[in-house]
Structure 1
Amino acid sequence: MRIPLTGGAYSARSLIADAQRCINLYPEQNPQDATAPTTHYPTPGLTLVSTPPVSGECRAIYTATNGQRYDVVGQNVYAVSASNVYTPIGILSSDSGPVSIIDNATYAFLVDGTTSGYTIDITKNEMQVCNDPAFYGSDRVDYVDGYFVFNQPGTQHFYISKYNDITFDSLDIASKSTYADNLVSVAVMHRELWLFGEQTTEVWYNTGASDFTFGRMPGVYIEHGCAAKHSIAKIDLALFWLSKDLQGQGIVFAGRNYAAERISTHALEAEFATYSTIEDAIGFSYLQGGHAFYVLTFPTANKTWCFDAATGQWHQRAYLADDGTLGRHRMNCHSFNAGRNLVGDFETGNVYALDPNNYTDNGAAIERIRSFPHISGSDGNRVMFRQFVADMEVGNGLSDDSAPPEIRLRWSDDRGASWGNWVVGSLGKAGEYLTSIQYQRLGYARDRVFELSWSVPVKTALNGAWVDVSRART
Structure 2
Amino acid sequence: MRFALVGQSGRDSDNPLGNTSRLVNIYAEKMTTGERALKSVLGMDPHVQLNGVLIRAMGVVDGVTYAILGGRLWRIRENGSASPLGQVTTGHASLSGNNGAVCIQAGTRYFVYDSGMSEPATGAFSAFGSVEYIDNYTVLTEAGGRMFQWSDLADPKTLPGLNFSTADANDDKLVRAFALDGRLYLFKEHSTEIWYNTGASGAEAFQRVAGGVKGTGLKAHNLICRFDDGAFMVGSDNRASLIAGGQFQPISTPAVETAIRESLPVACLVYSDEGHTFLCIVLRDAPAWCYDLAMGEWHERAEGEAGPWNVAASARLGDEWAIGRDSGEIAVLRRTNSDGGRPLIRELTTPTLRMDGARTVLREFEVFPSSGFRNGSISLRLSRDGGATWTPDKTRILTRGEFDDRAIWRNLGMGRALTAKLRWSDPYDLCLSENARIAT
The 1-side partners of 2:434 and 2:364 are apart by 14
Deviation at 1:176, TM superposition (A): 1.5
Deviation at 1:376, TM superposition (A): 1.3
User: Which sits farther off after the overlay, 169-178 or 70-79?
Assistant: 70-79
Give the counterpart letter for 1:466 in structure 2: A
In the TM superposition, structure 1's runs of 4+ consecutive aligned residues that sit over 4 Å from their partners are: none
Are residues 1:131 and 2:131 paired?
no
Are residues 1:390 and 2:380 paired?
no
Is the Cα contact below 8 Å between 1:388 and 1:465 reproduced in 2?
no
Give the counterpart letter for 1:389 in structure 2: E
Partner of 1:111: 105
User: In structure 1, which of residues 347, 367, 373 is the aligned counterpart of residue 345 of structure 2?
Assistant: 367
Are residues 1:238 and 2:222 paired?
no
Partner of 1:466: 436
The 2-side partners of 1:92 and 1:394 are apart by 51
The 2-side partners of 1:74 and 1:256 are apart by 32
Return closer, same or farther for 1:2/1:181 CA change in 2, 3 Å cut-off: same
The 2-side partners of 1:236 and 1:294 are apart by 11
Q: 1:87-120 deviations in whole A, cap 9, x for unaligned?
A: 32211221x54x32111223110112x2211111
The 2-side partners of 1:391 and 1:187 are apart by 45
Partner of 1:340: 320
Q: How does 1:405-424 map to 2 (within 5 A)?
A: 405-424=376-395
User: In structure 1, which of residues 223, 239, 254 is the aligned counterpart of residue 242 of structure 2?
Assistant: 254
Q: 1:118-151 deviations in whole A, cap 9, x for unaligned?
A: 1110xx3x21223335453433321111101122
Partner of 1:41: 39
Partner of 1:272: 260
Is the Cα contact below 8 Å between 2:180 and 2:231 reproduced in 1?
yes
Give the counterpart letter for 1:57 in structure 2: L
Return closer, same or farther for 1:216/1:319 CA change in 2, 3 Å cut-off: same
Return closer, same or farther for 1:129/1:76 CA change in 2, 3 Å cut-off: same
Deviation at 1:394, TM superposition (A): 5.7
The 2-side partners of 1:465 and 1:443 are apart by 22
User: Which sits farther off after the overlay, 12-21 or 450-459?
Assistant: 12-21
Partner of 1:400: none
The 2-side partners of 1:109 and 1:6 are apart by 45
Deviation at 1:57, TM superposition (A): 2.3
Is the Cα contact below 8 Å between 1:143 and 1:188 reproduced in 2?
yes
Partner of 2:130: 140
Partner of 2:358: 381
- SS of 2:260's equivalent in the other structure is helix
- SS of 1:225's equivalent in the other structure is coil
Deviation at 1:464, TM superposition (A): 2.7
- SS of 2:312's equivalent in the other structure is strand
Are residues 1:353 and 2:350 paired?
no
The 2-side partners of 1:431 and 1:163 are apart by 65
Return closer, same or farther for 1:259/1:61 CA change in 2, 3 Å cut-off: closer
The 2-side partners of 1:135 and 1:26 are apart by 46
Are residues 1:157 and 2:147 paired?
yes
User: Which sits farther off after the overlay, 54-63 or 191-200?
Assistant: 54-63
Are residues 1:208 and 2:199 paired?
yes
- SS of 1:10's equivalent in the other structure is coil
Q: 1:283-341 deviations in whole A, cap 9, x for unaligned?
A: 12122211111121122x24322111111111111111xxxx33222332111122111
- SS of 1:250's equivalent in the other structure is coil
Give the counterpart letter for 1:130 in structure 2: P
Return closer, same or farther for 1:64/1:329 CA change in 2, 3 Å cut-off: same
- SS of 2:168's equivalent in the other structure is coil
- SS of 1:270's equivalent in the other structure is helix
Deviation at 1:466, TM superposition (A): 2.9
Deviation at 1:74, TM superposition (A): 2.0
Give the counterpart letter for 1:102 in structure 2: S
Partner of 2:283: 298
Deviation at 1:204, TM superposition (A): 0.9
Q: 1:388-438 deviations in whole A, cap 9, x for unaligned?
A: 0012226633xxxxxx42211111111122222111112x22343144211
Deviation at 1:383, TM superposition (A): 2.3
The 2-side partners of 1:284 and 1:468 are apart by 39
Deviation at 1:447, TM superposition (A): 1.5
Give the counterpart letter for 1:27 in structure 2: A
Give the counterpart letter for 2:46 in structure 1: L
Partner of 1:21: 22
State the superposition RMSD in angstroms. 2.0
Give the counterpart letter for 2:240 in structure 1: V
Deviation at 1:363, TM superposition (A): 0.8
Partner of 1:401: none
The 2-side partners of 1:310 and 1:231 are apart by 21
TM-score where L is the length of structure 1: 0.87
- SS of 1:87's equivalent in the other structure is strand
The 2-side partners of 1:394 and 1:385 are apart by 27
Partner of 1:10: 10
Is the Cα contact below 8 Å between 1:2 and 1:464 reproduced in 2?
no
Partner of 2:57: 60
User: In structure 1, which of residues 296, 312, 320 is the aligned counterpart of residue 296 of structure 2?
Assistant: 312
Deviation at 1:188, TM superposition (A): 0.6
Is the Cα contact below 8 Å between 1:395 and 1:431 reproduced in 2?
no
Is the Cα contact below 8 Å between 1:296 and 1:304 reproduced in 2?
yes
Are residues 1:72 and 2:68 paired?
yes
Q: Can you give the 5+ residue segments of structure 2 that lack an aligned partner in the other structure? A: none
The 2-side partners of 1:395 and 1:234 are apart by 35
The 2-side partners of 1:215 and 1:365 are apart by 52
User: In structure 2, which of residues 384, 408, 412 is the aligned counterpart of residue 442 of structure 1?
Assistant: 412
Give the counterpart letter for 1:385 in structure 2: L
- SS of 2:362's equivalent in the other structure is strand
Are residues 1:181 and 2:172 paired?
yes
Partner of 2:217: 225
Return closer, same or farther for 1:451/1:83 CA change in 2, 3 Å cut-off: closer
TM-score where L is the length of structure 2: 0.93
- SS of 2:258's equivalent in the other structure is helix
Count of residues paired in the alignment: 437
Return closer, same or farther for 1:346/1:383 CA change in 2, 3 Å cut-off: same
Deviation at 1:47, TM superposition (A): 1.6
The 2-side partners of 1:259 and 1:79 are apart by 35
Q: 1:180-229 deviations in whole A, cap 9, x for unaligned?
A: 11111111111101111111112111122443211111123322111122
Is the Cα contact below 8 Å between 2:368 and 2:405 reproduced in 1?
no
The 1-side partners of 2:411 and 2:81 are apart by 58
Return closer, same or farther for 1:456/1:115 CA change in 2, 3 Å cut-off: same
